[in-house]
Structures are given as C-alpha cells and as structure tokens.
Amino acid sequence: MVSGSKDGSVIVWNSDLSVRAKYDLLRIPEVPILPQIRSVCMNAFGVVIAGTSSSDMYQLFGDKKSSRLLQAHFQGELCGFCVHPTNPNVFATSGDDKTVRVWNCEEKKLLSIQMLDMPSQTCAFSKDGSKIVCGFGTRQSATKTPSSSSGFSKNGAYVVYESEDMTLVHEDRPSRVAITEIQYSPSGDHIAIASGKCIYIASSLDFQTRSVVQNHKYEVSHFDFSQDSKSLRTNTTENELTFFSAEDGKKVKSASSLKDATWSSTTCPLVWSAQGLHGDLDRVVTSVDRYGSLLASGDVQGHIRLHRFPCVNEKSESLRLKAHGSEIGTVRFNQNGNVLYSVGTKERIVCQWRVKKGKSGGSVRGMVRSGVESTKEKEEGGR
C-alpha cells in the first residue's frame, strides 16, 4: 500500500503496516512549488508515481531516488502566451499561479521557470528573444478601480527578465490597474503596456515612458503595431477599433490615413481584414493570429477556425477544429508558421497543431493539405 500527505511525504507500507520506504518531496533535488500530495499509485515493481498540488508529477523508486516526469501551471487561469521570435520550437506562458515558464515544444520539456510576485495574464519576448516581459494582474482585477483592488498589491506592474536564466533586468509600475496586454514594438525599441483604458509606451533601453495612449472609453483588450512601429490599432472590451500614433499617443482622426499601413501582426479580432470572422452572431471571437495567407481564430466555445487572409466575407470557407472544452484565450502561429498553438484559458492547456501547407491558391483545405493535426493526438474535428 502507498499513501501521500499534505507535508509532501510518500510512504510505502508492508501488509503488516510497517514502513517499507519513505520519500520526502521537500528533500529531493527538484522540490515542487506546492508539496501537498494529491494522488499516488504504485506498480508491481514498487515504482511509485506521485502528483502534487502544483501539478508536478514524480517517479519515486529504490533508495529514495526520484525523477520529475511532468510540470504544469496549477492555479486559476492561463492567459499569458508568446512565441519566440527566432526559435520556432520555443514559447512562454504566464498564469494565475504566479509563474512564467519557457518551454521547448519539440523536446516537450520546460526550459526555465520563474516565480512572480503577482498573477500574470500576458507576456512577450523581445525582438531578439533575449528578454521576456510579464505584466501583473488578473482578468478579475482588470475591471477593478485602483481604490477597489487594494488586495492586488502590484496591479499594473511589469517585470523584465533574461529569458535564458531568468535574471531580473527591470521592474516598474506605470499603472495601478491590471495589465491585459504587453508587446515589444517591431523595431525592438519600445514596450507597449495595456492597462485599463490606457497604453503606456516605454523605452526598452532605459524603460522610461515615452508616450501614453489615453483616449479609450473602455478597457483595452488587444492591440497591434504597424511594421514601422509608428502607429497602433486597438480593440476594447466593448468592440471598438481605434487608431493611434505610438510616438505621441494621440488618436488618429482619420482612419483612412492608415489604409495602406502594413501591420506587424494581426492579433486584434476586430479589424477590417478579419471582419468575416464575425458573421456568426453566436460566436464570440477571443483571439486571432495571422501567418502569411492563413488566419486562425479561437472563441469562447473552444473552437478554432482557419480562414484565408484577408477574411472579409462572412460566408468565407473555413477549416473548423475542436480542441478545447471552454474558452480559448490565445491562438498563435510559431515563427515558421508550421505549428499553431491554442491555449485553453480555464483548462490551462496548450495544444500544438501541426500545419501541413499545400498550394497557396484555392480553398483553405487545399492550402492546409492535411489539415491541422494535434502533435499529441488527432483531436475530434481535426482533418
């Protein structure tokens, strides 16, 4: 028989209830964040598998030997996600469990982890991938005013780390409201921090605030930089699309003046080039991303759709995929466009879909020759 306790102890018992072996997870080389044992089992050879409250899974055997089999986010929601700008196999996550983690999807292992002072719902790599920035706050605290969120001591703060060894580079707090989105500019010279109804543009060198975008009526949910880093387009929680100058924070009065602008990303769900996504009134799109001529979108029902880009017709053909049981917080293509990631916010699951590209012309199904397949297993709805 085997048992586990909240102090991190795992005991293997003989039939007469004498102790055969005892393991203390607080004394092993890879100590879990939360040592409380949630589940244990043992095979016929006496090898024990133990799971903890911090979603760590260990294999215990022999004379107090151990190896960690699995690590994962373990509390609240998983909202923060970003792909590495140069390495197609690396991505990072941050969540309500107050951790930021860097992963290798090809090797399926955790490269580094850093404990944070606050939950984080957004993170981003620098242009060269050498640094990673995390914004503090949760979706619940994002709707609270500074006076009503006193329990969230670092709402509106952000931290910058070296991505390789998680050495702290800088910490600042430009706002008192939770940060909902954070990005480096395409030039790499600035960091844009969305907090409440504002976006703070700070230098990535000395971290001084250069400008503040303030003319939003509602909380900012998404934004994109233009390729030259001079302009911003933003979405709010009340479905507004607005354009601003990133240099001085002023609102662009005539949207048509940016009709020929090239945008470095397409993560705003509400833009003219993605208006065809919103023809189904029962579908609430939560995240979009573009790679070349493909546009991916996720929604609150847990569905993924792939369209040709631009998608301006409400009846445009799509490849529909089912991967999650609830809201998808993020969809992102990797740097090469051959992997699509989808993040289940409440499930704290990251699914990897392999994109097998076909001919560039014709239907979406022709463009994605074999559809999109999960790298774990083929999901229902995949083709």
Return all residues near 216 (Cβ < 8 A) that are at least 6 apart: 197, 198, 234, 236, 240, 242
Question: Is residue 367 very low, low, confident or very high in pLDDT (cuts 50, 70, 90)?
Answer: low
For the segment 28-40, the average pLDDT, to the nearest whole number, is 96
Q: Are 341 and 83 in contact (CB under 8 A)?
A: yes
Instruction: For residues 107 and 195, state if they share a domain.
Output: yes
Confidence tier at 364 by pLDDT (50, 70, 90): low
Burial class (CB in 10 A: 0-12, 13-18, 19+), 277: buried
Regarding whether 189 and 41 lie in a shared domain, the answer is no
What was the pLDDT predicted at 103? 97
Structure tokens at 200: 């703070």
Q: What is the pLDDT of residues 250-300, one digit of tens each?
A: 999 999 999 999 999 999 999 999 999 998 878 999 999 999 999 999 999
Percent of the chain scored above 90 by pLDDT? 84
Helix, strand counts (H, E) of the chain: 2, 30
12 lies in the same domain as 141 = no
Where does a domain end: 41, 70, 99?
70
Peptide bond between residue 310 and the one before it cis (omega within 30 degrees of 0): yes
Q: What's the predicted TM-score (pTM) here?
A: 0.90
Grade residue 377 by pLDDT with cuts at 50, 70 and 90.
Answer: very low
77-113 pLDDT, tens per residue? 999 999 999 999 999 999 999 999 999 999 989 999 9
> In this structure, are 248 and 304 located in the same domain?
no
Give the pLDDT band of residue 57 (cuts 50, 70, 90): very high
Question: What is the pLDDT, as a whole number, of residue 198?
Answer: 98
Residues 41, 58 contacting (CB under 8 angstroms) = no
Do residue 145 and residue 280 come from a single domain? no
Residue 375 predicted with pLDDT over 70: no
The chain-wide mean pLDDT, for the chain, equals: 91
Residues 140 and 282 in one domain: no
Q: Considering 258, 280, 307, which residue would you say is the last residue of a domain?
A: 258
pLDDT in tens, 118-129: 999 999 999 999
Note the pLDDT of residue 141: 59
Say yes or no: 250 and 135 in one domain.
yes
pLDDT for the residue numbered 153 = 82
Residues 118 and 136 in one domain: yes
Number of domains making up the chain: 3
Q: Which domain holds residue 57?
A: 2-70
Task: Say which range, 7-11, 147-151, 217-221, 224-228, has the weakest mean pLDDT.
Answer: 147-151
Look at residue 359 in the predicted model and tell me its pLDDT: 63
Q: What is the pLDDT of residues 205-245, one digit of tens each?
A: 999 999 999 999 999 999 999 999 999 999 999 999 999 99
C-beta separation of 284 from 295 below 8 A? no
Please check whether residues 109 and 216 belong to one and the same domain.
yes
pLDDT of res. 366 = 54
CATH number for 166: 2.130.10.10
Express as a percent the part of the chain with pLDDT over 70. 90
Average pLDDT over residues 129-135: 98
CA 202, CA 173: separation in Å to the nearest integer? Answer: 11
Tell me: do 204 and 294 sit in the same domain.
Answer: no
| Cα 271 from chain centroid (whole Å) | 21
pLDDT band at 365 (very low <50, low <70, confident <90, very high): low
175 shares its domain with 236: yes
The domain boundary, picked from 258, 275, 295, lies at 258
Does residue 378 carry a pLDDT above 80?
A: no
Residue 139: pLDDT band (50, 70, 90) is: confident
Task: Write a three-state SS string for 126-142.
Answer: CCCCCEEEEEECCHHHH
Q: 219 and 167 in one domain?
A: yes
